[in-house]
Structure formats: structure tokens, C-alpha cells
Chain A
Amino acid sequence: MKFKSLILILLFILSLNVKAQEKYDISVDLKDLTFKEFVSRAEKLLPVRFFYRDEWVSGLKMGDYSNCTTLSCILDNLFKGTSLHYIIEESGNIVITDKYAVNVSVAPVEKENNFMPPSDYAGSEGSQHTEGTASVDIGNPGEKNKTGNVTISGYIRNKDTQEPVSGVTIFVQKLTVGTISNDYGFYTLTLPRGIHFLQFSFIGMREKKISVSLFGSGELNVEMKSVLIPLKEAVISAQKNVTLQRFEVGAEKINIASFKLLPTSMGESDIIKSVLLIPGVQSVGEGSAGFNVRGGSVDQNLILLYGAPIYNSSHFFGFFSAVNSDIIKDVTLYKGGIPGRYGGRISSVLDIGSKEGNRREFKGNIGVSPITAHVLLEGPIIKDTLTYILTARTTYSNWIFGLIKDPSLQKSKASFYDINGKITYDLDKNNKIDFSVYTSHDSFRFNSDTIYSYNNNIFSLNWRHYFNSRFFSSFSINNSSYNYNISSRYLATEAFVLSHKINSTGLKADFNWFLGRNEINFGLDLTRYAVNPGSYLPYSDSSLVKPHILDKERALETAIFIEDKFQLTDFLSLNIGLRMSSYFSFGPHSVMLYNPEYSKSKSTIIDTLYFKPGALTSKYAGPELRVSLNFRLSDKNSFKINYNRTRQYLHLLTNSTSISPTDTWKLCDYYLKPQIGDQIAAGFYEMLFKNSFEASAELYYKRISNMVDFKGGTHFIMDDNIEKDIVNVRGKAYGLELVLKKTEGKIRYSIGYTYSRTFVKSISNFSEEMINSGKWFPANFDKPNDLVVTLNYIFSRRFSFSANYIWSTGRPITYPVATYHMYDDLLVDYSDRNKYRIPDYSRLDISLNLKGNLRSHRTAHPDWTFSVYNLLGRQNVYSIYFKREGDLYNGYKLSVFGRAIPSVTLSFDF
């Protein structure tokens, strides 16, 4: 009988009613039996069962135990001199543990509370202690009189799926020391010898408290149980202390459980939409793809899925996220304090943690919403070893188009789908491999003669190797590509196909080394880019279109990084990291040289430089320093300070306020320099009212150089020499983010207020290349005031209600200020860029979640979500534009969602 990872599940059983009392008499000749033979014999003779790991007992041989009459005497003798311990439960289970012993103490008062189901930890601190509490010995008890610090470490897994759980807070209240489990579910904590009370908590998981008698360094692996809905107060309080512990200023972790409770816009849980609720994150408006973090543009966000970047994060022009929320385990957004292992984008990292398949049993989920349908299947191929997870999502909007009477729209089509798949294979205890695939497709047909389609594709192979319990590595290779195709047959002589593609292949080696008070992370990151900036080809032979293919761009980005999280004292910790990144672009490539006395344009070209295939056309390199300091002022509050430099070697060229799927990616080249971001941030964090409230204030200042803007009124599509149409722009942003969260109780809420400003300024010697005469002006997404309030009210296990309210200043806009006549035409002259603002934005969304049935034996669990987006029906202005009507220019306000939008989503677990 073996139980692969037994350890802490036991503690539940143990906590019931266990007495370490001997009652098994045995007198058999056991000499020279292997331990396994002994076990099978003992299990035959006695009503006992053994739990252990094979590798612990493989070398054990039974000795002569003729003087023993009890099982415990035999085991005592047998384990003498080994690191093994055992415990005999009243039920007859004999549990063998390595390196630590399990003691069970039963508090006398506890008897009265025994009617409580053991797995239900009540919320208040008081009742917590009345529960039977398991305690664990770690290390050799003989060393108990020694002093000094020792290290305890281990893995945290989800009990049901056996997936590692990252982001779990491990906290020792008395010492106010804690840590967070890493991506492998591994944690390490340095504590003084003695008895400690460890709390393991994570949103969406049942909190765990373990008393540890620490005699020496050792391992403590923990299994945590996820809760169907985060109802119990113990769960709700889970994330407390996290903010105090984290090094980063401006890191936010969203767990899928809390994210699924948020109101939806069209019946789809949407990860980008929930990221927008985080203070410091903004967007241009509804239906705009992407998001802006602390004054950064949309292309400055690194969105990672399976460790690979996603180049277009939305379907349907931004109305849906490109990543199906079914596969998301958790999401971490770094607004600042970006760890050294991430690079290549300057404003933020959105790391989407993906689910692994269920290791124990087959599970599935299907769901429908007004626009989409999705399905999820997961399970083991080989139990506990080889698992898969597969999800797919599609829309049935084409069917809706078919119902429309308008003949031109009947021929129109719009659809999307996305598919995710992941296979995880545990080669052995120390080697794990996973392979993931993601593909998303959007297609769009207008009036049957113009077809648009765009695709994301990701492949990722990842090998995790554990050298020992302190030293891990992860090697991954991935490929991500994005392309769009536009074809038109509107006129036979001009029928064309236009396409653009970016393809990147990344290779990453990442090492984590836990060395006492240090946690060292180092590695290597290589990315090869190949961009087809644009090709414009005739659609058919009858087309006169001249084939035009822009020079392909090829480049290599390399980085090495090393970072150390170092606990200087119990009150002060330092995280220092350095990332050295470099970039090389290669020929063949033709570079136009311009007369430096004039603004770059076709007419100022004086010469052409030709680079042979493989020749270096440009190279850029520089260090990126990442430093954080965390001062723990008391057990209730902390102060953090952080500096970050980031470099980015590619740009998204866009000339509209909101990015569109037909915007093109451009690599740095002879003219285009890397974007460089510097951010300094400071934060103060405090737990209030017995840790039931969490308050924080973060202040940041950021500078960005070498951003790209356009000369005005120009198109970037099929542009041979992009440098003549762009303007070098510098940005600065600053802001204050205030958050108050109630994290416990049936009613939870958070209030976030942000005051932030973002300005840009064009840098040039020529007036043609200046925007607003080279003065600072507000960026498109500069919304100084931003208030986000979210509320969760959990009525019962089956019902929950949530609401969010958003209010922000309207975004800046450019509009006409003067009219004039020319050639009998009435024309308009525009104001300086972004001189005016659209009206303030305000929106209230609500949703009600209803679980149809919670009984576990039912084959399907329905789950209903009723949502109303923009409940107040407010016509939030997206843009203001002016159209000529007769002799007048009339202004119009465009609202995307002009009224409340209700939706219903139904899904089944099976």
C-alpha cells in the first residue's frame, strides 16, 4: 500500500481522534524479511495498514526482534538510527514519515466542538485553536537545545489535482515572518529553532494551520484543498499578509476563483477586463484592445501564456480576451518591480498561469453564453503521471448574421475560436515535462468581397528539473506568432492580399536556488524574431496589383539575468536583480540615408545603405537594474521601495487612439531605437482591524524614452521606410494608487482610487516631426482620476452577488477648432493633439452567481451567472467626432454601450 504523497492529508485524519496508544501485539519471526514483506505479513495478521514511500524503506531489513511483543517495539527498533518516524492511529493506520515525527495532541475543550465537521475551519481566530491541531516535528529532537535559525522548505500541492500551487502565503504570525510559494509550489522559510505555528493560505483554497516543532532544517510538504466557491471566511482571509511579504511594489495576483465572480460584459469571464479593475491599469475605452499600465502604451505589456508572448490579446477588436478563462489558474500582473527573469517589455508583465490536467480523474465543463460556447476536458492518461487538459471556445455570431435581413450584412461574417491544449508528464520525481499549444483565429468578411483574418499561435515545451530540494531549473522553448491577412476582390484589377506576420522563438533557462536567507534566480533568455512587415500581392491574374513585399526583418534578443532575494534582517529584505539584454538585427536590409538638414521624407533621401544577408544592421545593449527593498516596520505594516529599468526592442505601430488588429509590429532597426523605461515606486502597506482590512498606498514616477508616434494623418501599412513617418516621443508618468480592501467576512469589498498623469513629448529638430510644437501633452489614455469599487456578497454556498463600479476622468481628445473654405469645400483645422477631454466615464455592473447543485454524487453541476453590464444604462462617450452636414460641422458623441446589457451564462461541470 503506498500513497505517493501522503504527508499532510493525514493531518486531517489525525486531527479527528487519534491516540498514540499501543494495542497491537505481535510475535512472529521477522528476521531478514524486507520491510515490504514485513508489512504484508503485519497487515495480514493485524487490522493495520501502512503508509510510506518505497524509497524510504528500500534498504531496510528486519532484525531480530524476539524481545518485542508489540508492533511499536518492532518499529522503534527498526527505525532506530534512521530518519524515519511513525505514528499509529486508533483506526489502525500506521503512517511512516521521513525526517520528522507527527505528534497529535487533543485539546480537552475540543470535545464540545467536535460536532463541527473537521474540514470546516471556522473563521474567527478563537475557534481555530479549539480544533484538534496536528503538530509536526522537523529535524532531530536531540538538537532541540541548540539555538540559531534553520530552514524549512517544501512543496504545496492541490489535493485534488496534484498541481503545484504557487502564490500560497506561508506565515508565522508571532514572528511576522512569511514567504510565498513560487511557480513550482515550492517555499522556503528561515525560522529560529522552536515551536512555530505556520499558516498556509491562498484564495480559493482552504486555509491550513500547522504547528511545527523545529529542531533542524527539514522538509514539510503540504496539500491544500480547493473550495468549490470561496465561501468560508477562512478562505476569504487567505491573502492577508501577502502584500506585506511580497518584495515587489505593484504586483497583483488574481486568482481564478475571485476572478470568476466578477460581472461579465457579454457573459464571458474576461481576464483583461478584470485586470482593468486594478489601480494603475487603464484603457482608452470600451472595445479597445489591450490595457495601459502606469502610463505605458499597450505594446509595452508582456502578456505571457505558457511562457510565450501573445502578440494580440483580443478577439473581436477588443471585446473579448484572446485567452479562454477556462485554462487560467492564476494571473500575476507586475505594474512595477518586474523580476529580472522577465524582460522585453517596459511597462508590465501579465503572466497567465495555466491549469494542468486533473491527475486523478476525468473532468469536464461545458458552458454557453449569448455569444460563445466553450468546453473543457481534462484528466489523467496515466494516473498521477501523464495528464491532459483541452479547451475550446467559439462564437456562433455567424448564425446571428444570417438572421439579419439587410442583404449586405447577410453576406458579412464574423467569427472567432480558440483552442488550448496541455500535456503534462512526470518522468520521475525530479523531472517534469509539459507541452502546450494555443491557437486563436478571428475572421471577418465584409460584404463578401473583403476578408480579414488574424491568428495567434503558440507552442511551448517546458522541462522542469529538480536538482535537489533547494535547486530547481526550468528549460523552455516556445514559438509564438501572430499574423493577419486582408484580401479584397472589390475591383478585379485591384484585387489584393495584404499580410503581416511576426514570429518569435524563445529559449529560456531559469534556475532557482534557495540558499538559507537567499533565494537566487538566474538564467538565460534568447529570442529570435522574424517579422514580415507587410506583403501586398495580387489576388488573381486579372489584378494589376504590383507585388510588393517589404524587407523581412530578422533579429535576436538575448538576455542573462541574476537576481537575489535576500533577507538582511527579520525586518529588512532586499531584492536585487540585473538583466543584461542585447539586441542584434540582421540583413538583408536596405537603409535609406537622409539629408540630416531636413526632416526625413522621400524627397530628402540622399543615399541607400545595403546590408548583405546576415550582416549586422543594428545592435543595442544595456543593463536593466531591478532593485526592491522591503522594510517591515511592525507586524502590521511595511514599506517598500523599488527601482526598475526595462528595455524593449519592438514597437507596435498604431495611428489610432485605440490599437487595432491591423496594427503592425516593428523591430528596432538602424533608425528605431529600443524603448527604455525607468520606474521608481514606493509603497506603504498596512493591515487594519485584526487583519480584516488591507490598506495600501503606492506612488510611482516613470520615464520612457524612444517611444514611437506618427507624423499625423499617415498610414503605416506597407510603408517601406517607416522612419520617415514616425516621430520619436518621450513619455513621463506619475501617480498615486490608494487601495482599501476588506478581505474577510461574507461581504468583501475593495475601493481603489488612482490619481495619475501621463504625458508625452516629441523630440526633433524639425517642425514636421513635432507634435504640439514639441511641448508635453497628455497621452491618449491619460485619465487623472480613476475610482474602482468592487463588492462581493456571499449569501450562501449557492448564491453570491458581486458588483463593480468604475468612474474615471474622460480621456483626452483632439477636435476641430476652426473652419475654413477652400475650393468650395468647408474644411476644419484641428486643435493641438489631445487638448480637450471627453466627458467622465462611469459604469456599474452587477452579477449574480447561482450554483444549481452542490451534491457531489450528481453527474452534472449547473452553474448560472446573471450579469448586467452598465446597469445604469449610461451612455459613456467613447469618442467625439465632427461630421460636415451642409454648411456646418456638427459634433457627435459615440458611445459603444448605450444601454444596460444583460447576459446569462450557463455552465455544467461533469
Chain B
Amino acid sequence: MQLIIKYLIFKPLQLGFLFLTLLVINSCIEQFTPGPSQDRNLLVVEGLITDRPGHDTIKLSTSMPLGAKSSPNPLSGCVITVSDDIGNVYSASEIFAGTYVMNSPFQGVVGRSYILHIKTNETYHNLSYESSPVRMKPVPAIDSLYYKKVVLSQSSDGFPLTEGCEVYLDTHDPENNCRFYRWEFVETWEIKLPYFVTNRVCWVTKNSDQINIKNTTSLSADRIEGFPINYISNVTDRLNLKYSILVNQYSLNQDEYNYWEKLKNNLENVGSLYDIIPSSTPSNIRCVENPSEPVLGYFSVSAVKSKRIFIKDYFPGMPDLYTDCEDAIAGLNDSIASLNSRVWVIIIVTYPPPGYKVLTYLKGCADCTTRGSAIKPDFWEDSK
């Protein structure tokens, strides 16, 4: 249904608007800065327990007013427990501010349902919160994960061909049972600096920040083919050397699916003439003392299956992010005396004295750990 919705509501109606734009009816979009909005420090729960052993995490934070650049606002000192439908209670420990990890030997079991309990301390009014019971549904394995090149522009008039990459996923549930899916992915790619420095090769890791969901209720078979999981544009250097993506496939129940769908609609269907009126997305967690208090976030209980692929291919038109390094060589022949500690010495020359030459003033061009880790990840396969 997701696809229909995407095409039904979003594209055509935007086209109506686009059409008029093209007829020089010049619609126009301008920046808008809202006035100061009221402070709303609502509890935000990011909770996911899976059937994979160890390290299921529940993160608590509070919301921030819209506007300024924001970093998470963790809520520490709370007591978190998870109970199941056969009377077990599991506890969690706060490993750092706002992040609570389920104590071993907790491991979710497919078919069992779980309730999350939160008790806040005095910094958050000593309140108790409780989720509705969520049953863990089984999830099928990812059948395949593959990519296709996307032609972004044909070569013409001296402009070369440029290509992007779309990663697709196929899955199916022979039992026709799962029906509601969510995916998260982790991207890792190799980067290499143009200079022979100590930290020359690194691996950058990034978690997905988009909502990927799909249901197959409108299909006769619980089968998904060619679900576009991630698009890699030609403005990043992800595909320059070697790239890897790990996809986690989660089973959802319909309530959770609806939650993500609303969240997604609110985020994406904006800026057209027929925007769906946005609204708060109600959580499955409520405050025991004050049930009308809004809570943000969701307590998810999902079975998970994963798959990883590597991409090492030639994509024309990929950018070299290190061309700016050369631009910074204005003072190529500067003596070392004029350098300070924030400047990076790159090569040793014999002349002029003192025998050092500045190749770049940018740290990122001299030390790849500014972007990633110089330690090769365990899963990284050099051969492929």
C-alpha cells in the first residue's frame, strides 16, 4: 500500500503544482522562521527488543523546542523493566546517560508479548509509564539484497555520464504471515586520503535516518520484490572505493506499522497543494498517573533478520571530496616556522629548509579519523 500512497497522494498532486510552475505561474517557496514555540519537554522513548541475544537497548530522552540546532537530551536515572505474558520481569541497566541495556540473559521470544515499564526520577516528576502489550511476530529472512545503477544524466554537450545507485531488497514469507515490515540499515564505506599519511584508510559508518516500511496486505502473496531500500546519490563518496550495507528486517504488528506510517506521512507529504494535515503520532506508551499526557516514541517488539552486501563497482561522475585539499595549498612554500599546531605537515623535503612542506591546511585531508575509524571492521572483506 505504501507505493500506492506514495504515488497517489504525493506525486500527482505535486505534479499539478509543478505543471503550473512550468507554465510560468511561478509558484514560489520561501524560508519561514516560526516565532518562539512553547517549551514542550515530553518523554521520548526509543525502545526495541528483538529475538537476537544481548544488547537490546531502550533510550530515554526529552523533546526540545523547534528551531535551534539540537542534540539529544538524554533522561537518566530512570528505572526500566520489561515484563512478559508469563510473569517474567527483566531489568535494564543504564550504561550511559539515557541509554539502558537489557541485562542478560534477556532474549525476546517469538510469540510472547512484552510490556515496558518506566519509572522516572525527580528530574522528570517521578512518573510511571507503561506500554501496551506487544507480541513478537516471526520475520522471514531477506532473500536477496542487490543494487542497480541509476542513470542521473546522459553524457551530452561535454558533460559526462553520471550514475547513482539504488539498493533493492527482496523478501517473502512462505507462511504469508508477516505482512508488515520495517527495515533499518547501517552503511559502511572505505575512504582513502590522497596523501601517504598515517591514518590514510578509514571506514565510515552511518545509521539509516529514514523510515523504511512496507506492508503486503494488498498482495495475494506475502512477497516483496525490488523494494528500494536506499538510494546512494552522486554527491557523496560512498561508492568511490568500496561500500557495504547491512539491512535489518523487522517484523511489525499492524499497530506499530500504523505508527511508522503516520510518522512517515507527517515527514514526507509536505510542500504540495494537498498535504495531509499533520498530527502528533500517538505512542503505545502512556503515563500511568496522567493518561492524557502525550508521550513520544514507541516500544517496538520485533523479530529480526539481517543481510549484508558489498558494492565495489565503477559509477561515473562520483565526486572526489579531497579536491579542496589542493585548494588549501596556497602557502606551499611556507616555512615550518609559520605553522602552528593546527596545521598539518605532510611531506618532508630537502629544500627549502627546514625540510618540511605543507600540503594541506585541512585536518580532514591529513587524518581520515576525522570522518571514520582507522580500524577495519570485523565484517570487512578485502577480497570482494
Contacts and interface: CB of A to CB of B under 8 A. Distances in A.
A118 interface: no
Nearest to A287: B273
B37 A818 contact: yes
Given A715-B9, A820-B42, A820-B61, A894 B279 contact: no
A11 B37 CA distance: 73
Given A815-B34, A887-B69, A823 B207 contact: yes
B13 A546 contact: no
Contacts of B328: none
A409 B16 CA distance: 12
Interface stretch (A248-256, A329-337, A493-501): A493-501
B332 interface: no
A414 B19 contact: yes
Interface in B169-189: 184
A890 B270 CA distance: 12
Interface string B5-44: 1011101110111111011011111111110011010101
Interface string A756-782: 000000000001100101000000100
Given A414-B15, A450-B12, A893-B30, A833 B42 contact: no
B275 interface: yes
Contacts of B1: 715, 718
Contacts of B72: 821
A231 to B, nearest CB: 33
Nearest to B259: A713
A287 B19 CA distance: 12
A266 B26 CA distance: 13
Interface string B27-65: 111111110011010101010000000000001011111
A891 B31 contact: yes
Contacts of A894: 27-29, 271
Nearest to B263: A827
Contacts of A718: 1, 4, 218
Interface residues of B, number: 85
Contacts of A536: 4, 218
B20 A287 contact: yes
Given A544-B219, A822-B297, A817 B16 contact: no
B220 A546 contact: yes
B4 A498 contact: yes
A444 interface: yes
A305 B8 CA distance: 29
A316 B262 CA distance: 28
A659 to B, nearest CB: 8
Contacts of B280: 712, 829-830
Contact of B27 (A828, A881, A884, A895): A895
Nearest to A602: B254
Interface string A288-307: 10000000000000000000
B273 A655 contact: no
A319 B20 CA distance: 9
Given A450-B7, A493-B226, A890-B31, A817 B65 contact: yes
A396 B40 CA distance: 52
A713 B69 CA distance: 26
A824 B209 contact: yes
A823 B46 contact: yes
Contacts of A767: 282, 291-292
Contacts of B59: 822
B70 interface: yes
Contact of A822 (B28, B46, B266, B274): B46
B40 A818 contact: yes
Interface in B220-247: 220-221, 223, 225-226
A446 B12 CA distance: 7
B337 interface: no
A204 to B, nearest CB: 32
Give the most central of B30, B66, B221, B273: most A CB within 10 Å: B273
Interface string B271-286: 1011111111110000
Interface stretch (A34-42, A484-492, A744-752, A784-792): A484-492
A830 B220 contact: no
Contact of B66 (A771, A816, A878): A816
A819 interface: yes
A646 interface: no
B137 to A, nearest CB: 14
A314 to B, nearest CB: 11
B63 A768 contact: no
Contact of B266 (A660, A830, A878): A830
A491 B3 contact: yes
B209 A662 contact: no
A444 B15 contact: yes
A892 B274 CA distance: 15
Interface string A393-414: 0000100110010000100101
Interface stretch (A173-181, A671-679, A897-905): A897-905
B132 to A, nearest CB: 10
Given A713-B266, A817-B37, A822 B44 contact: yes
A656 B277 contact: yes
A657 B277 contact: yes
A488 B219 contact: no
Given A317-B16, A818-B65, A823-B207, A713 B270 contact: no
B303 interface: no
B66 A818 contact: yes
B252 interface: no
Contact of B30 (A546, A660, A895): A895
Contact of B270 (A319, A400, A825, A882): A882
Nearest to A825: B209
A901 B27 CA distance: 11
B265 interface: yes
B273 A288 contact: yes
Contacts of A544: 219-221, 223, 225
Contacts of A328: none
Contacts of A697: none
Contact of A715 (B5, B7, B62, B71): B5
A446 B18 CA distance: 11
Contacts of B220: 544-546
Contacts of B136: none
Contacts of A881: 270-271, 275
Contacts of B142: none
A888 B40 contact: no
Contacts of B13: 317, 660, 662
A600 to B, nearest CB: 13
Contacts of A821: 44, 46, 61, 70-73
A887 B67 CA distance: 10
Given A544-B220, A713-B261, A820 B292 contact: no
Interface string B122-146: 0000000000000000000000000
B9 A712 contact: no
A414 B12 CA distance: 10
A896 interface: yes
22 contacts: A319-B16, A444-B16, A488-B3, A494-B219, A536-B4, A546-B219, A655-B277, A662-B12, A773-B292, A818-B64, A819-B66, A819-B70, A820-B63, A820-B297, A825-B211, A829-B63, A878-B273, A883-B270, A887-B69, A887-B70, A889-B66, A893-B29
- Top 4 closest A-B pairs, CB basis? A898-B28, A713-B262, A712-B279, A891-B32
Interface of A: 266, 287-288, 316-317, 319, 370-371, 397, 400-401, 404, 409, 412, 414, 444, 446, 450, 452, 486, 488, 490-491, 493-494, 496, 498, 536, 544-546, 548, 601-603, 655-658, 660, 662, 712-715, 717-718, 767-768, 771, 773, 780, 814-831, 833, 836, 875, 878-884, 887-899, 901
Given A536-B218, A830-B278, 8 more contacts: A287-B16, A446-B11, A660-B13, A713-B276, A818-B42, A828-B266, A880-B32, A895-B29
